[in-house]
Amino acid sequence: MPKTSVVSKAIAAAFVVLTVSVIGGIITMIILYKTEISTMNPTPRPTRPVSTTVLPPVMRLPKNLIPLSYKVFLMPQLYTRIIEKVNVTSPNQTMDFLGNSTVSFQCVERTSTIYLKSMNLAVSNGKVKNENTNKMIEVSAMKTHRDDTNFLEIQLREALEEGGNYSLFLTFKGEISENLDGMYVSTYVEGVPEFLVATQLEPADARKVFPCFDEPDMKAEFHVTIIHRRDTIALGNAEISGSNIVDDEWKYTSFHPTPKMSTYLFAFTVSEFTATPSTHERVQINTYARPEATAAGHAQYAASITGKILSFYENYFGIDYTQKKLDQIALPDLAAAAMENWGLVTYYEGSLLYEEGVSSVLNKEQIATTIAHELAHQWFGNLVTMKWWNDVWLNEGFATYMSLFAVDNVEPTFQLVTFEMDALASSHPLSPPQEEVQKTSSIIQMFNSITYCKGAAVLRMLADIVGERVFIEGVKVSNYFKPHLVDMVAHWLVARFMEPWTKQIGYPVITINTTNGEVNQKHFLFNDSAESRHVKIGYMWNLVRVSTGSTALINIFKGPILFKKDEFLSKNGEWILANINCTGYYRVNYNPENWDRLLTQLEIDPHRFPPMNRGQLIDNAFFMARAKLVEVTLALNSTRFLRKELDFLPWQLTVRNLEYFVVMFDRSEVYGPMQAYLREQVKGLYNSLRNYTDKSTIPKDHSSQHSQMLAIEVACSNELPECLEMATKMFADWMNSNNTNPIHPNLRSVIYCQAVAAGGKKEWDFAWARYQSSSDTSEKEQLRVALSCTKKTWLLNRYLEYTLDPDKIRLMDVDSTISDIAWNPAGHALAWNFIRAHWDYVSQQDGDMLINAVTSRFSTQFELDELERFKAEYDLGPAANEVYQAIEQTHVNIQWVRENKDAILEWFERETAE
């Protein structure tokens, strides 16, 4: 649907040039995205260097050599099963791998030193050849730098000449990692322990597999051969060109050359996995999983949507998927949820496998979203790649944003919506300067929620500003190269408009005064004086779109505000609502009169506003209250209309914002009236959905399914009698049934927790027995959490004791179990005593969430003193930082409670007075 818009003149002029044909390259110009489509982008002519003195590089590879292709042989010696030949304690399983590689490259600047990246590899046998003359060039020294640079420095007897083509051969040896990085081993049990080899190279671990020019813009073709045990199969980025069993032990599998790609996308696996095919007219798609999982059909759902998603993107981007095959593989171990390796996408099992009748609607949504995200990367990231990691938001923001369209296309009932303003505590701009992202550790830190969520939100805003149709044309990969001057101007403008959003931390708050029509913006901060010290604002947010209720469009550009003042003037006392559907990446505050009118409108007829904005009003009110821009009672007033609210988003945002109120007050006299209030508010929602639970059937649309889960959680935790009765009954039905679980997978985690909370020893013991006997990971996890929900202190104490016994609670679950107990108001004090009594044991893990959980309620001077004593008397190790933060937070809590408690108590009491 085309949008009517009123654009200020200056901006309108700027956007006139942004027509469909010229916007292509938004991305190119926002931050020098670079494509490698050979027909459109011939290898750039080497530029003549100004100076010939070459200084040693600092962190980054010098750009004097340009890689063209690699020929790589890799031989992981792992067996997929333990061969108990020698004896049981020392079977002949081996973690070694061998390999050799030949990299061909062009020299664009004379040099007698080759720098590559290499880590944890024993490299030898370097041979350099001039490919133009076929002459060998003698290597005089080879040195691996054992520091953050990971340089492999190769000194030559004679210089490589500008314009010449050369190759470098190396042999190397390494060890398969057990830490899920580089070339690593993953294990699982199907009757017997099984092993497989996989890779995870993003961002900077290709150097652990073979020496290479390990930077994203140093792309090359890869010709790969894997030598593996003959009873296993090898998968690579490209399709298999041939395989060949050479003896009783070994099989060679060779792959066609990959497209020109970055090293971090290199991947291979060696396993005994089996495949589930998908249909696609041209590309051969297979989804690999453990044989048992494949046989049980757990890859079916993924397989059923993958072909459709790929076709969707081919249409959307206007360019075919570049390879002939696409493999996906569900790995029992992976350091991320998934990784977009070109042609061989790896997934953590839980992100890809779906078990009918066991997995919940959330699983299904996550699977579809994850596949859509990774497949979007086959274009954004793989084909078109950021120059350096400081701009990884372009990869991740695009994939995240695009995945919503793809999911909407293949699963229209999901209706995913995002509202992710809150994830963005101020920590770094989307696109920090390159110099700040040099070390591998800083590169890894770029993969955070700001990169993913703010990236997607800012792109959504851009799409909204230029119009979806123009945006879609703009992202078509085939539109990237339009070398006209007018395009350059358009690109420059887009880049300038985007800059404040990409180069600055955080986002603005727009304040609208409807009494005089004034609008202004400032950086949104919770605590102006404390936070602004760390934040240097270079410039205003250039382009802010504020749509009012009547879909008018107003832009604010660089300080001077370019809109007609009366746009925001309320002449006859009518309300004005800004940022319709929250497409703008900012928060909005109003004068008290307008707030009042908006909240009144909500109570009269909430459906006058779209669900997004109903949620936004609540979220903004609570954030403004935290930043002391409005009174806390205004935030509470914004929740009044929920009595009539059946949509998920406003409820979800309320629950999120009230979490802090709950932990601050659940041990105080505020909690009774607060529960009474929420009980009343949620009744309507709960009752509108309760028939479904009674019949163990589930609403069709996903949004209602989410509402149902949330309704039960809010209703039961605030002790709505019919909810407690329902949860107890459903759990009892399970206890009385023979092994079949009558509870719908969607509702299991909430019912388990609420039933254990409402119940006693019998429920707890049943859940504990199930926890111990279940082999289903997600079921086990739900039960482990549910066990912490009981209100009986003696059960909680016993459960705490269990965490000391690794046969009862695995070491990796100790922290989260104690944390779960600490989040329960009945367990809070027990957990705090417990961790101090057993600090040596519980601090074996890194403990970051543990400290946060046990101190979350601290809001009195006495508790602060205890925490200070803890800091002074215990050996905190790596938890010291968390304790320091907890002390800071406790100060904040003490002040917040002091300033707000009376008003909040009075508000809830008045609301619930008969």
Ligand X SMILES: *[C@@H]1O[C@H](CO)[C@@H](O)[C@H](O)[C@H]1NC(C)=O
- Where on the chain is the footprint of ligand X (CB under 6 A)? 73, 75, 83, 85-87, 89-90, 92, 100, 169, 227, 513, 515-516, 551, 580-581, 591, 596, 610, 631, 633-634, 637, 688, 691
The answer to whether the Cα torsion of 606, 608, 612, 614 is positive or negative is negative
| Distance of closest approach, residue 348 Cβ to ligand X, in angstroms | 31
How far apart CA 510 and CA 521 sit, in angstroms, is 4
| Distance of closest approach, residue 743 Cβ to ligand X, in angstroms | 19
- Residue 396 labelled as part of a binding site: yes
- Starting at the edge strand found earlier in the chain, the sheet holding 135-137 runs 135-137, 122-130, 165-175, 96-107, 65-76, 221-229, 250-255, 240-245
- The SS3 assignment for 532 reads helix
Tokens of 488: 């350059």
| Distance of closest approach, residue 230 Cβ to ligand X, in angstroms | 11
| Distance of closest approach, residue 388 Cβ to ligand X, in angstroms | 32
- Residue 373 labelled as part of a binding site: yes
Q: How many CB atoms lie within 10 A of CB 721?
A: 10
Task: Count residues near Zn ion (CB under 5 A).
Answer: 2
The residues, ordered by sequence, that sit 6+ positions from 795 with a Cβ below 8 Å of its Cβ are 761, 764
Give which of Zn ion, ligand X, none residue 399 binds (C-beta under 5 to 8 Å, depending on kind).
Answer: Zn ion
Please identify, using beta-carbon distances, which residue of 307 and 584 lies nearer to ligand X: 584
How far apart CA 146 and CA 153 sit, in angstroms, is 11
Give which of ligand X, Zn ion, none residue 600 binds (C-beta under 5 to 8 Å, depending on kind).
Answer: none
Give which of Zn ion, ligand X, none residue 73 binds (C-beta under 5 to 8 Å, depending on kind).
Answer: ligand X
Q: Measuring CA to CA, which residue among 225, 248, 219, 251 is closest to residue 238?
A: 225
Give which of ligand X, Zn ion, none residue 513 binds (C-beta under 5 to 8 Å, depending on kind).
Answer: ligand X
Give which of Zn ion, ligand X, none residue 739 binds (C-beta under 5 to 8 Å, depending on kind).
Answer: none
Please identify, using beta-carbon distances, which residue of 166 and 266 lies nearer to Zn ion: 266
Q: How many CB atoms lie within 10 A of CB 323?
A: 20
How far, CA to CA in Å, does 123 sit from each of 153, 164, 575, 747?
A: 11, 25, 71, 54
- The SS3 assignment for 127 reads strand
Please identify, using beta-carbon distances, which residue of 382 and 638 lies nearer to Zn ion: 382
Tokens of 13: 């002029």
| Distance of closest approach, residue 1 Cβ to Zn ion, in angstroms | 30
Q: Measuring CA to CA, which residue among 857, 809, 219, 128 is closest to residue 818?
A: 809
Please identify, using beta-carbon distances, which residue of 409 and 515 lies nearer to ligand X: 515
Regarding 552 and contact with Zn ion (CB under 5 A), the answer is no
**Chain position whose Cβ is nearest to Zn ion:** 399
Q: Are the C-beta atoms of residues 309 and 371 closer than 8 Å to each other? A: yes
**Binding pattern for the stretch 368-407 against Zn ion, x by CB under 5 A and - elsewhere:** ----------------------------x--x--------
Give which of ligand X, Zn ion, none residue 83 binds (C-beta under 5 to 8 Å, depending on kind).
Answer: ligand X
Instruction: Say which of 109, 202, 314, 374 is annotated catalytic.
Output: 374
Tokens of 223: 């010709």
Give which of ligand X, Zn ion, none residue 134 binds (C-beta under 5 to 8 Å, depending on kind).
Answer: none
Give which of ligand X, Zn ion, none residue 637 binds (C-beta under 5 to 8 Å, depending on kind).
Answer: ligand X
Tokens of 163: 């314009």
Please identify, using beta-carbon distances, which residue of 242 and 877 lies nearer to ligand X: 242
Helix or strand (DSSP H, E) at 496: helix 485-503
Please identify, using beta-carbon distances, which residue of 75 and 676 lies nearer to ligand X: 75
Tokens of 682: 């949620």
| Distance of closest approach, residue 349 Cβ to ligand X, in angstroms | 29
Helix or strand (DSSP H, E) at 304: helix 300-317
| Distance of closest approach, residue 207 Cβ to Zn ion, in angstroms | 21
Give which of Zn ion, ligand X, none residue 515 binds (C-beta under 5 to 8 Å, depending on kind).
Answer: ligand X
Q: Please give the single-letter amino acid code of residue 777.
A: T
End-to-end CA distance of the chain: 48
Residue with tokens 């530029």: 47
Please identify, using beta-carbon distances, which residue of 452 and 541 lies nearer to Zn ion: 452
Please identify, using beta-carbon distances, which residue of 396 and 473 lies nearer to Zn ion: 396
| Distance of closest approach, residue 409 Cβ to ligand X, in angstroms | 16
Helices within 787-860 (DSSP H only): 793-802, 811-823, 828-837, 839-842, 848-855
Written as one string, the DSSP assignment of 143-179 is EE--STT-EEEEEEEEEEPTT-EEEEEEEEEEE-BSS
Q: Are the C-beta atoms of residues 712 and 747 closer than 8 Å to each other? A: yes
| Distance of closest approach, residue 592 Cβ to ligand X, in angstroms | 6
Strands (E), 32-138: 34-35, 65-76, 96-107, 111-117, 122-130, 135-137
Regarding 270 and contact with Zn ion (CB under 5 A), the answer is no
Please identify, using beta-carbon distances, which residue of 288 and 380 lies nearer to Zn ion: 380
Tokens of 568: 């925001």
Q: Is 374 a catalytic residue?
A: yes
Residues making up the annotated binding site for Zn(2+) are 373, 377, 396
Active site residues: 374
* Residues in touch with Zn ion (CB under 5 A): 396, 399
